[in-house]
Amino acid sequence: MQKLKIRGGKPLRGSVRISGAKNAALPILCAAILSAETLTLKNVPQLNDIGTMLKLLKQMGISAHREGETVVLNAANLTNPAAPYELVKTMRASILALGPLLARFGKARVSLPGGCAIGARPVDLHIKGLEAMGATITIEGGDIHASVFKLKGAHIFMDIVTVTGTENLMMAATLADGTTVLENAAREPEVVDLAECLIKMGANISGHGSDVITVKGVASLHKAEYAVMPDRIETGTFLAAVTAIGGDVRVTNAAPRTLDVVIEKLREAGAVITSTDDEIHIVSNTRPKAVNLRTAPYPAFPTDMQAQFIALNTIAEGTAIVTETIFENRFMHVQELVRLGAKIDIEGNTAIVKGAQKLTGATVMATDLRASACLVIAGLVAEGETIIDRIYHLDRGYDHIEKKLVALGVDIERID
Ligand code: UD1
């Protein structure tokens, strides 16, 4: 199993180019299912999760060609509307195939995702929404079996804000008979990016970016070319790293407008941040100050940045209160940080982080994607050598991370 070896202590200097957003690319790849014509995607990140999604689409009979950051998909010959357990268990986002398959073929079998390291993560709202649109859904042998003659527009209220739930139902509604209204919809920028791509394919969608999305069904979607938005979590991770260890970094190909709350919190921690439309310049040369935060759906603080901010708070001046409201078990990184000398107590869904003067390198284990990013930040800050085990989690969501860090002057190496 591969590991990362980091020798911390050096400030980050230089520039880093942000890749396309994983969480926008995954639903957008599934949007290809909705059309018999070609979908050409640019700025697709080179990640294991993207590889898994392409594998999933190919085994359905979709042609998918990838060259660098461009992916060309054609679902004219899709014959197998199914997502098997072997793929779903490695990537929950496979559930995003369900809505599009049902909309275009009236039939789908998608393995039911189990719980995962950060929480139970049910998909009941995806299922209820599709049932409201007329689908018959049963769970047999661990699989979701869904069928419908033709989906019908419906008024759907989701009692929890769900990102992939909103995306699944929005995709399904594009080809339904009549109008669908999604209430309490997710407002995440990745939902907006998917909507923009679907509109380029001929869908009739309005209200995306607000909590009420209206989709008027059309007969078919056509060919399109679309560039995936920059990854706001990758961007936030680099910004948090600079704030923690210090330095002067230019972050290019970014979308600062999607990171308002994160940038605000980093300024509160002491970083000096300026930005243009697609670039962020960050300078940090003092010990960060502790920042409190509470995760919640967009535009509030993203749960996918919580772990990285805990890492930042471990060496900050003062004590931070970090509350996680989205997932019930998203503090697995805390015990690993404690191995590096961090002082953190957990009370229910709150972590109380007392800033230490220093962390000391040790061997730690990545438990999920964003926990891995948090351990990388801690490794950059720690004195001596930190070894991070199980970095396959990191490769799921961070495009060429060690190459990007080496270019910023970090002493980091991948070892077997
Ligand atoms: C997406 C992101 C993930 C991010 C999360 C929250 C992708 C591929 N993944 O995950 O990185 O951390 O949003 O911003 O985009 N819930 C239900 N029933 C459902 C659906 C969700 O109870 O049917 C609950 C979940 O258990 C969780 C909360 O709703 O507590 C939010 O989850 P959701 O927004 O659905 O997360 P994902 O879409 O899986």
What does each C-alpha distance from 325 to 165, 261, 294, 303, 349 come to in angstroms?
Answer: 18, 16, 7, 8, 7
Within 6 A (CB) of ligand 1 lie 23, 26, 93, 119-126, 160, 162-165, 190, 303-304, 326-327
CA max distance for the chain: 64
List the beta strands (DSSP E) in 117-255: 136-140, 143-147, 155-157, 179-183, 204-206, 212-216, 224-227, 247-252
From 90, 326, 370, 396, mutation site for ligand 1 pocket: most ligand atoms within 8 A of C-beta: 326
Protein residue with least CA distance to atom 26, ligand 1:
121
Name the residue with the closest Cα to ligand 1, atom 31.
162
Measured in residues, the chain has a length of: 416
Burial status of residue 113 (CB atoms within 10 A of its CB: 0-12, 13-18, 19 or more)? buried
CA-369 nearest atom, ligand 1: 11
Residue pair 71/64 in contact by the 8 Å Cβ criterion: yes
Secondary structure (3-state) at 161: coil
Q: Give nearest CA residue, ligand 1 atom 5.
A: 163
Q: How far is the CA of 381 from the centre of ligand 1 (A)?
A: 31
Q: CA 338, CA 343: separation in Å to the nearest integer?
A: 6
246 C-alpha to ligand 1 centroid (Å): 33
Closest approach atom of ligand 1 to CA 233: 11
Low pLDDT (below 50) residues in the chain: none
Do the Cβ atoms of 153 and 176 come closer than 8 Å? yes
Res 190: pLDDT: 98
pLDDT given for residue 206 in this prediction: 98
Give pLDDT, residue 120. 75
Atom of ligand 1 nearest to the CA of 127: 23
Q: How far is the CA of 164 from the centre of ligand 1 (A)?
A: 6
Residue nearest to atom 39 of ligand 1 (CA): 164
Report the 10 Å Cβ neighbour count for 349.
Answer: 17
> What gap in Å lies between CA 327 and CA 415, rounded to an integer?
32
pLDDT tens string 310-351: 999 999 999 999 999 999 889 999 999 999 999 999 999 999
Q: What b/e sequence results for 200-238 when a residue is b if at least 16 CB atoms lie within 10 Å of its CB, and e otherwise?
A: bbbbebebbbeeebbbebeeebeebebbbbbbbbbbbbb
**CA distance linking residue 377 with residue 242, whole number of Å:** 9
- Of ligand 1's atoms, which has the minimum distance to the CA of residue 304? 12
The rounded Å distance from CA 162 to ligand 1 centre is 5
How far is residue 179's CA from residue 191's CA, in Å, rounded to a whole number?
Answer: 18
Q: Atom 29 of ligand 1 has which residue's CA nearest to it? A: 162
Ligand 1 atom 35 nearest Cα: 162
Q: Which of 28, 112, 156, 160 to mutate to test the pocket of ligand 1 (most atoms within 8 A of CB)?
A: 160
Which residue's CA is minimally distant from atom 25 of ligand 1? 121
pLDDT at 119: 75
Ligand 1 centroid–CA 355 distance in Å is 30
- Ligand 1 atom closest to the CA of 125, numbered from 1: 23
Residue located nearest, by CA, to atom 32 of ligand 1: 162
> How many A from CA of 326 to the centre of ligand 1?
8
Separation of CA 93 and ligand 1 centre (Å):
10
For 89-142, what is each residue's pLDDT tens digit?
A: 989 999 999 999 999 999 999 999 876 777 778 899 999 999 999 999 999 999
Distance 182 CA to ligand 1 centre (A): 16
Q: Known catalytic residues? A: 116
pLDDT at 115: 67
Residue burial 23-40, b: 16+ Cβ < 10 Å; e: rest: bbbbbbbbbbbbbebbbb
Q: Which residues contact 347 (CB under 8 A, 6 or more apart)?
A: none
